[in-house]
Structure 1
Amino acid sequence: MSFTVTILGSGAAVPTLSRGTTSQFVNCQQRSILIDCGEGTQIQMRKFKVKFQGLQVILISHLHGDHIFGLAGLISTMQLLGRKEAITIVGPIGIKEFLLNQFKISGYYNGFPIEFHELAPNTEAMVYEDKCIEIKTFPLSHRIPTQGYRINEKPGKRGLDKEAFDETGISTSYIQKLISGEDVIDNEGTIVKSEDVTFPPKPTKSYAFCSDTAYHPPIINAIKGVNLLYHEATFLDKESERASETFHSTAKQAATIALKSEAKRLILGHFSARYKTMELHKEEAEAIFEKVFIPEDGEVFNV
């Protein structure tokens, strides 16, 4: 099944004509997940043909406006279009109050259930899980409590080696147990090991989202070995002092985190509007880490 990331907004602080503020749509094992919801996110979703009525989970990294100002509008539109299904919103303490106060003041009525999962500062935990995926959160280093997220596929069932299975002569009724990894004993006492008649499941994949944050090596364990890493790169290295003051990262620092975490590929983002081109961001990062991508809004990445 597909595991993709659509970059809805890759800019920092304020939207521009070429880059919206932070938001991403993740489709993993037919689960629809939104990460952050900057101003105009629902417009970006329409523009890039992302169906927001199917959203099941919204992950909010922190409560700065460029990551949440689109949330009330998106939820309102969902209601106006007749949504009935519940949605889960995960984010730092305050996200519930932020959203419900807007609805209260504006006279909005929430026509479908919202299940809030508020995170205390510095939380490291599982925040969502079903039979196919799991989502974990971990703390970043920013001016206010901020969380990163890692989305992991769960291992699927093993594949049946039909030729090897046929040689056992046992009933096909044992197949489900065998591909689930269980050894079986047939009615005649014959032991058949799962690994002898099945193939290993396909390798699982993972995606990690790290924005906004200063250079923060403690996150390395939480994102170890991810197939695709998104890490903010607000500034170039020559603005490293400014990055430190504002608890943001440079392209060089993002690449260093990718290298140390043994990520397979790196997407940079959260670019300051002061930069008209991101060529130097890419050059700085590639000097440290090989597979670096500078996204355009609307670009889709296969995990």
Structure 2
Amino acid sequence: MIDLTLLGCGGNVPMPNRFLSSLFINYKGSKILIDCGEGTQVAIKKNNCGFKNIDLILITHLHGDHIIGLIGLLQTMGNSGKTDDLTIVGPAGMIDAMNAIKVLVEYLPYKIFVIENPKEKFSLEHDILKDIEISTIDLEHSTECMGYSLYFKRKARFDRERAISNKVPQILWKKLQENDTVIYGDNTYHSNMVLGEERRGIKLSFVTDTRPTFEIPQFIYESDLFVCEGMYGDDLDISKAVKNKHMTFREAASLANAGNVDKLLLTHFSPSIGEPKDFIQNATNLFKETIIGEDGLTLSLSYKD
């Protein structure tokens, strides 16, 4: 199971009732953060998400409402006892941005590794995060911007008959479901000796600060959850969306429909939107399974079988 907390659903500037863009992911006790706008660490504290075990931060782009919260967050993570490595991924310019931030938070009790503008699918060499395959897509915004897709892989189904036919001792069956290789006595056993049919994992896609593009539906295809910006709720604001390179609720819903996703979570609302739920029909008319984001919203994603 994957637990999600929408820490902030605002765009541009923080509001008294709305923190800026940030999504918190808890996977087997390891924490992932997507974007880190101003106020993110306050939202983490408010929602009891924890600072110490944040191992990966994914930044969509370098506009302040998506990155400025990093300055305080990195310091707070160190003060919370974090000593394990932290990986930060971002678009072109991420290394320069982190070099500037390190001037203000020079002494940290953990190492930071920066991955800039990755173009291939990748996973991290981390006990837990190695099970996550991360993909990126270039988006259409006023600066370099990336969307993310996280695929949480699942071990193949245990095959009792295969384990017996391969003469694997029963004491090793569970261990080989969790480890690739186990040495027992003078023999080495491999997980493929007890595993059979592949099982589908969980796909989470996150796209914000962009106009709709032809590539997005394929990128988000069959996501269990598609988190997408909904900067403007009113269809009449389409000219603003085009000018500022953002989306309306209806455009986000159209992408969700074309991508055949299970659920759409709208976020990154303009400060001009007082109550985003007033415009929900502009999305649900095209995509019924639409959720309007709000600060502190929690969701859980489970394997389908």
How high is the TM-score relative to the length of structure 1?
Answer: 0.85
Match for residue 43 of structure 1?
A: 42
Structure 1 pair 103–256 and aligned structure 2 pair: CA distance change class (3 A): same
1:173 aligned to which of 129, 150, 169? 169
* Inter-CA distance 100–278: structure 2 relative to 1 (3 Å threshold): same
SS at match of 1:53: coil
Tell me, yes or no, if the aligned pair for 2:155 and 2:177 is still in contact at 8 Å.
no
In the alignment, which residue of structure 2 is the partner of 1:186? none
1:192-228 CA distances to partner (integer Å, 9 max, x unpaired)? xx89x97745431110000111122212211111110
Instruction: Provide the residue aligned with 1:269 in structure 2.
Output: 267
Residues of 1 paired with 2:200 and 2:55: CA distance? 25
Aligned partner of 1:302 among 284, 300, 303: 300
Aligned to 2:110: 112
Do 2:123 and 2:131's aligned partners in 1 also have CA atoms closer than 8 Å? no
Which residue of structure 1 aligns with residue 229 of structure 2? 232
Q: How far 1:102 sits from its partner (Å)?
A: 3.5
Q: What are the within-5 Å matches in structure 2 for residues 33-182 of structure 1?
A: 33-104=32-103, 106=104, 108-119=106-117, 124-129=119-124, 131-161=130-160, 171-173=167-169, 176=173
Shift of 1:107: 6.8
Residues in 2 aligned to 1:101 and 1:263: alpha-carbon distance in whole angstroms: 38
Question: Which residue, 207, 213, 217 being the options, matches 2:210?
Answer: 213
Change (3 A) 1:3 1:178: closer
Aligned-pair distance for 1:153?
1.3
How many residues are matched?
282
> Residues 212, 89 of structure 1: CA spacing in aligned structure 2 closer, same or farther, 3 A cutoff?
same
**Aligned partners of 1:6 and 1:24 also within 8 Å:** yes
Residue of structure 2 equivalent to 1:3: 2
Q: Flag the 1:142–1:201 CA change in 2: closer, same or farther, 3 A.
A: same
Q: 1:19 corresponds to which residue?
A: 18
Gaps of 5+ in 1: 181-193
> Residues 154 and 107 of structure 1: is their aligned pair in 2 closer, same or farther, counting only changes over 3 Å?
closer
Match of 1:171, as an amino acid?
K
Q: Aligned partners of 2:82 and 2:162: how far apart in 1?
A: 47
The answer to whether the 8 Å contact 1:26/1:32 transfers is yes
Question: Which structure would you say has the larger Rg?
Answer: 1
- The AA in structure 2 aligned to 1:84 is T
Listed as ranges, the gaps of 5+ residues in structure 2 are 179-191
Q: In the TM superposition, what is the alpha-carbon distance from 1:112 to its structure 2 partner?
A: 1.8
**Which whole-Å CA distance do the structure 2 matches of 1:199 and 1:92 have between them?**
38
Could you list the per-position Cα deviations for residues 145-201 of structure 1 after superposition, in whole angstroms to 9, with x for gaps in the alignment?
10000110113131244xx579x7773438759979xxxxxxxxxxxxx89x97745
Q: Distance in 2 between matches of 1:107 and 1:213?
A: 31
Over 6 Å off, 4+ runs = 177-180
Report the CA distance shift for 1:170/1:208 in structure 2 as closer, same or farther (over 3 A): closer
TM-score by length of 2: 0.84
Which secondary structure state, in structure 1, belongs to the residue aligned with residue 221 of structure 2? coil
* Alpha-carbon offset, residue 18 of structure 1: 1.5
Bigger shift: residues 24-33 or 213-222 = 24-33
Other structure's SS at 2:26 match: strand
